[in-house]
Structures are given as C-alpha cells and as structure tokens.
Copies of this chain bind each other. A is one copy, B any other.
Amino acid sequence: MSRYDFASDNTAGAAPEAIASLVEANAGFASSYGSDRVTATAAQAVRSLLDADVDVRFVASGTAANAIACATLCRPFEAVLAHAHAHICTDETGAPGFFGHGLGMIGLPGASGRIEPDALDAALGQADAPHHQSAAALSLTQSTEYGAVYTLDELTRLTCAAAAAGLPIHLDGARLANAVAAGFDIRSLKSLGVSILVIGGTKAGMPLSEAVVLFDPSLSRRFDARLKQAGQLPSKGRFLAAPWIGMLQTGAWIARAAHANAMAKALAALMPFPLAHPVQANAVFVEMDEAALARLQAKGWSVYRFIDGSVRFMCSWATTLEAVEALGEALRGVV
C-alpha cells in the first residue's frame, strides 16, 4: 500500500478548523461571486493577519493565482524575474505564459531557492532591448521551494533592489504559513513593497483555496473581471473563503504550520542521508542515490526526486510523529 504522507504537503486532507468553517458557511442563501458575508469576514481576517488595509480575493488554484499576479504586473513582451527553481518557473506547465500571453520568466540562481542578490542586481542592470523580454516584475517565494526561509533582511535586500529599478513585486506564499511559523513576521510584508501576495490555504490545511492580496490599490480596478475571465471568480465564493475564517480566527493557520515544521525537524533528526538544504520550514531534501530511492519506494513510500537532484520529503499539518518514525526506520533500512 502506498503512503502519501511525505509525497507533498498537498496530500493531506483539510484541517478540522477549515472543515468546520466550511460546513458552517453552508447555511442559508448568500449572494454570489464573492459579495457575500462569509467572504467579507474571511477577507477581514486576512487583513488582520497582515495588519494592512488591502483588497483580498479567494481563488481555487495557486497556479492561477500566481500566474494572474504575473500577468497583472507584466505585459506579454516583458518578463518576471524569479528563482530558476521557483514553482512558477518549473512546475506550472507554463501558466504564467498562458495567463500572461507569452510573458517570459527569467530564472535567477541562489542557494536553497533564495535568489542571490548579486544575480538580481545583474538582471536588473540589463539594458532594455527590443529583441528580448525585459524584466518587469520580481517574484519571490517564502518559504522557498527548497524549504528555506528568507530573513527580513534578505527579503529587504531584494525588494529594495527591485523597487529601485521600478519593478513591482509578487510574493508566492504557497507556504507562507510555514515561514511565519518559522519566525517570519507576516506584518512586515506591508512595508516590503509587495504589490501582489498569494497566500497559500491549500498547503496550510484547507480543502482548496488561495488568497490573492492586492497591496497596491491601483491593481484593484476591474480585478474581479480579470478573475472572472480567467475562471477564478467562483459563484459560490463562500466555499473558498470560509476555511480562512476558521484557520485564521483560531490561529490554526500558523499553529498547524508550526506542527508541520516540527515534523520536518523531527524527520531531519532521524535522517540517515545527508541534507541537501537547511530545514527551516516543512521540507526535508536529502541526497539519496537511485538505488536507495528505489528501495524506499518499493516499501510503499511515495516520494520523488526533485529538479535539483535531491529527494524531497514534505510534512504537513496532518503528518504524525508515528509516520515520521516509521519513515525514519524505513530510511535507515535503505541506506
């Protein structure tokens, strides 16, 4: 029997707080397309989380949310700067180009998914030319694709460079909860100059929901039309909004992520293979040869090799210490 516990943080179900809110929101009639009270309450909870007066939308897909953000900030003959291994560059089937009508992605290097500041500077210093897609926005990921967490100083270094070059910023927060649980102050986002933030609900323990946050009020005009055309303005909007109420009002959005992070640390502690990246959030990446991976998979553990060649283990709100220990034992058996 396959075990999906560590295959991804999207193999878990939804946390009880999310389900409870969803069921509660189901009662009665409500106006459509996000104009209902549940959505208003959830948006307010996001504003409280961020301590910022922002526009909030709830959409069904992180792929769409991030791609729409890029399309909002760039034109088709421009490009987004992002880490070369950012999800949006490698794992979205070209969604930014689809939603952005051919907009380009410029991949930047950096350890553990964090963009190397000098590389950003070099990219920002590139002169415009009509023959290539010039950079028009910076996309950051917190926590990163490799489970690292930018410090505020590191983020500030990057956002200031982008701002100095006139580039707006998108932040992919699919795992922002894990970064916050690891110590990142989410209220710092309002002063970092982020234009569009996507906050992950799905990986944080909701059924499927991402919050799109517009820090830049000039982006709000006709944003609902943008979402509708792109298939991201659901009629029964309350079902995407509701889980946020339970997860945020109870603190579960952070507490559940803290659990996931703790499970990752526990797994790292048991790990007989060398770590490929620092374990700062809910991911454990290790160096493991093909034979060992095959043996582990043969035992039923569904995990896979990542784009950088290491093998990834993800923890989630639902990961149990028993599972971590069982995996640890399995890992020791395949060394």
- Residue among A23, A222, A302 having the largest count of chain B Cβ atoms under 10 Å: A222
A2 within 8 A of B: yes
Docked CA distance A226–B297 (Å) = 29
Q: Does A4 touch B at the CB level, under 8 Å?
A: yes
Contacts of A78 in B (CB 8 A): 222, 225
The distance in angstroms between the C-alpha atoms of A60 and B202, with both chains bound, is 14
> Are A208 and B234 in contact, CB atoms less than 8 angstroms apart?
yes
A229 to B129, CA, bound (A): 12
Q: Is the CB of A7 within 8 A of B31?
A: yes
A278 at the interface (CB under 8 A from B): no
Q: How far is the CB of A244 from chain B (nearest CB, A)?
A: 15
- Which of the four size classes fits the interface of chain A? 35 or more
Q: Judge whether A29 and B14 touch: CB under 8 Å.
A: no
- A302 vs B31: C-alpha distance when bound (angstroms): 9
Contact A207 B95, CB 8 Å, known A30-B4, A228-B130: no
Contact with B along A76-95 (1 / 0, CB 8 A): 11110000000000111111
Q: A76 with B98: in contact, given A29-B11, A93-B130, A232-B231 (CB under 8 Å)?
A: yes
- In the complex, A305 has a CB within 8 A of chain B: no
Q: Given A11-B31, A222-B77, A233-B130, are A98 and B93 also a contact pair (CB < 8 Å)?
A: no
Q: Which residues of B contact A26 (CB under 8 A)?
A: 13-14, 19, 207
Q: Does A261 contact B (CB under 8 A)?
A: no
A21 contacts the other chain (CB 8 A): no
Residues in B with CB closer than 8 Å to A100 are 102
Residues of B within 8 A of A222 (CB): 75, 77-78, 128, 130, 134
Chain B hits for A62, CB < 8 A: 235
Cβ–Cβ contact A235 & B208, under 8 A: yes
Q: Using an 8 Å CB-CB cutoff, how does the interface string of A92-113 with B read, 1 for contact, 0 for none?
A: 1111111111111000000000
- A231 to chain B minimum Cβ distance, whole angstroms, is 3
Q: Which residues of A contact B (CB under 8 A)?
A: 2-5, 7-8, 10-14, 19, 22-23, 25-33, 60-65, 67-68, 75-79, 90-104, 128-134, 202-203, 207-208, 222, 224-236, 238-240, 302, 318
